[in-house]
Chain A
Amino acid sequence: MTAPTGITRVTLLKDLRLEWRSKDAINSMLFFSLLVVVVFSFSFDPSAEESRQIAGGLIWVAFLFAAVVALNQTWARELRNQVLDAYRVSPAPANSLFIAKTLGNFIFVTVLEALMTPLFVVFYRLRALGPAWQLLLVAVLGTWALVVNGTFFAAMSLRTRSREIMLPLLLFPISIPALLAMVQSTTAILNGEGARFWIVLLVTYDLVFTTVCLLLFETVLNAE
Chain B
Amino acid sequence: MTENTPVPVNVITVSNLIKQFGRFAALRGVTAEFSGGKLYAILGDNGAGKTTLLRTLAGLNQPSSGEIAILGASKFHDICQQVGYMAHPSLLYDEMSGMENLEYFARLYGITSRERCAEVIRAVGLDPELVRPVGQYSQGMRQRMSLARALLNDPKILLLDEPFSNVDTHSATEMVRLLARTRDQGKTLFIVTHQASLLEGAADEFVWMESGKIVGRTRELKRPERHGESAGGNLTGENSK
Contact = CB atoms under 8 A, between A and B. Distances in A.
Contacts of A88: 59-60
Interface stretch (A6-14, A155-163, A184-192): A6-14
A126 to B, nearest CB: 39
B67 to A, nearest CB: 18
Interface core residue of B58, B90, B104 (most chain A CB under 10 Å):
B104
Interface in A61-81: 77, 80-81
Contact of B107 (A2, A77, A224): A2
A82 B110 contact: no
Contact of A22 (B58, B62, B95, B112): B95
A81 B108 contact: no
Given A18-B95, A77-B93, A82-B87, A7 B107 contact: yes
Contact of B93 (A7, A18, A91): A18
Contact of B94 (A80, A82, A91): A80
Interface residues of B, number: 30
Given A2-B107, A81-B92, A91 B112 contact: no
Contacts of B92: 81, 83, 86
Given A87-B108, A89-B60, A90-B108, A81 B96 contact: no
Chain A interface main SS type: helix
A6 B103 CA distance: 13
A6 B111 CA distance: 11
A91 B109 contact: yes
A36 interface: no
B60 A224 contact: yes
A52 B206 CA distance: 74
B108 A83 contact: no
A104 to B, nearest CB: 14
Interface in B73-102: 76-77, 80-81, 83, 85, 87, 89-96, 100
Contacts of A18: 93, 95-96
A17 B62 CA distance: 33
A222 B110 CA distance: 21
A176 interface: no
Given A2-B112, A18-B95, A81-B89, 19 more contacts: A1-B110, A6-B107, A7-B108, A17-B96, A18-B96, A21-B96, A81-B92, A81-B93, A81-B94, A82-B87, A85-B58, A86-B91, A87-B108, A89-B60, A89-B80, A90-B109, A91-B80, A91-B110, A92-B108
Interface of B: 58-62, 76-77, 80-81, 83, 85, 87, 89-96, 100, 104-105, 107-110, 112, 133, 149
